[in-house]
């Protein structure tokens, strides 16, 4: 029996599509059979494995991978701030900057935006969000944030999971304006965050290395951002200054090579997420949308 494809909903043309997965054959071998899962536990999840691969993507000669990747995954080069031929390593291309006009920020003081390009799942009440990757499986906010006191602040709140594929724009941005705290590191492993892996074990999201940042806002209260590392993510780079006010849509940081994930949390009753994203999420289908597009509004 052929493996079940990964489907997502495209917010722009309103159609359901099948995801073209980078390294799909390897991922299914690694996570869909016992021998592969043992190899993941023994070797692949460990930081030195991703460090080694990330180092390869920073070496001279890795730029030869860029054009084949662009063609295979239909990456829009017109959005780049420079020519694909100007990148000297694959990692430079991977965390490329884009022209600002290619990611307009939805206006309005009471409007929150998506923090990253990718495929998004959203839940109005995080306490009722179980089973979105595998039936009956969930995780606690305490496990995600690595802090029970912080977790209590978001009980009954709203959650957005933004999953980035290797072909996506790999910088992440603030979804709201406010004053951010210092990013707190929660140490962990580096499992894949592909649906192939998450359908096997959703707890990979809370076992992986991650950074937690709290942003104090006027319209949305306290908003948490959690950047989750993954296999072959060489590093998570934070590029903001803690304590300095930021504007909605301002760049927060970037991921080095690999698929990654950003989780955004709002406290109870502090956001009304747009119904199109919520509706697809209720069907356990991710919605593809880009950074800066509208996520939802602060209740009046």
Q: Which positions are annotated as active-site residues?
A: 117, 173, 260
Answer left, alpha or beta for residue 108, where phi above 0 means left and psi between -120 and 50 means alpha: left
Q: Find out whether 186 and 202 touch, Cβ atoms under 8 Å.
A: no
287 in Cβ contact with 8 (< 8 Å) = yes
User: Measured at the alpha carbon of residue 114, what is the angle toward residues 87 and 198, in degrees to the nearest 5?
Assistant: 80
**Number of neighbours of residue 255 by Cβ within 10 angstroms:** 27
Is 71 exposed, middle or buried (CB count within 10 Å of its CB: 0-12, 13-18, 19+)?
exposed
Determine the distance from the C-alpha atom of residue 42 to the mean position of all C-alpha atoms in its chain, rounded to a whole number. Answer: 25
- Tokens matching residue 175: 């979804």
CB atoms within 10 A of CB 6: 19
Q: What would the two tokens of residue 169 be? A: 């724009």
DSSP-derived secondary structure letter, 62: G
Q: What's the angle, vertex CA 151, arms to CA 145 and CA 156, rounded to 5?
A: 125
Q: Is the dihedral of CA 130, 248, 110, 113 positive or negative?
A: negative
CB atoms within 10 A of CB 211: 20
Distance from C-alpha of 146 to C-alpha of 186, rounded to nearest angstrom: 7
In this structure, what are the phi and psi dihedrals at residue 91, rounded to the nearest 5 degrees? -65, -35
């Amino acid at each position: 029996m052929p493996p079940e494809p990964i489907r997502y909903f495209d917010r722009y043309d309103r159609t359901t599509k099948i995801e073209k997965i980078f390294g799909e054959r390897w991922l299914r071998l690694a996570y869909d059979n016992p021998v592969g899962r043992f190899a993941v536990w023994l070797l692949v999840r460990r930081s030195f494995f991703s460090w080694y691969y990330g180092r390869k993507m920073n070496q001279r000669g890795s730029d030869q991978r860029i054009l084949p990747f662009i063609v295979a995954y239909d990456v829009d080069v017109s959005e780049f701030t420079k020519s694909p031929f100007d990148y000297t390593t694959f990692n430079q291309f991977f965390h490329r900057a884009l022209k600002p006009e290619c990611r307009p920020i939805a206006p309005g003081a009471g409007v929150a935006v998506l923090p990253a390009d990718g495929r998004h799942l959203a839940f109005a009440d995080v306490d009722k969000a179980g089973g979105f990757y595998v039936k009956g499986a969930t995780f606690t906010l305490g496990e995600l944030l690595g802090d029970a006191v912080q977790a209590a602040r978001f009980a009954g709140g709203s959650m957005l999971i933004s999953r980035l594929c290797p072909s996506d724009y790999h910088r992440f941005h603030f979804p709201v304006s406010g004053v951010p705290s210092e990013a707190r590191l929660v140490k962990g492993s580096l499992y894949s965050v592909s649906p192939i892996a998450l359908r096997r074990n959703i707890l990979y999201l809370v076992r992986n290395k991650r950074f937690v940042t709290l942003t104090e806002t006027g319209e949305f209260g306290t908003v948490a951002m959690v950047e989750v590392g993954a296999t072959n993510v060489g590093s998570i780079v934070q590029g903001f200054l803690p304590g300095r006010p930021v504007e909605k849509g301002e760049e927060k940081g970037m991921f080095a090579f690999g698929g990654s994930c950003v989780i955004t949390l709002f406290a109870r009753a502090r956001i009304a997420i747009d119904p199109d994203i919520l509706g697809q999420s209720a069907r356990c289908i991710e919605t593809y949308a880009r950074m800066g597009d509208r996520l939802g509004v602060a209740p009046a």
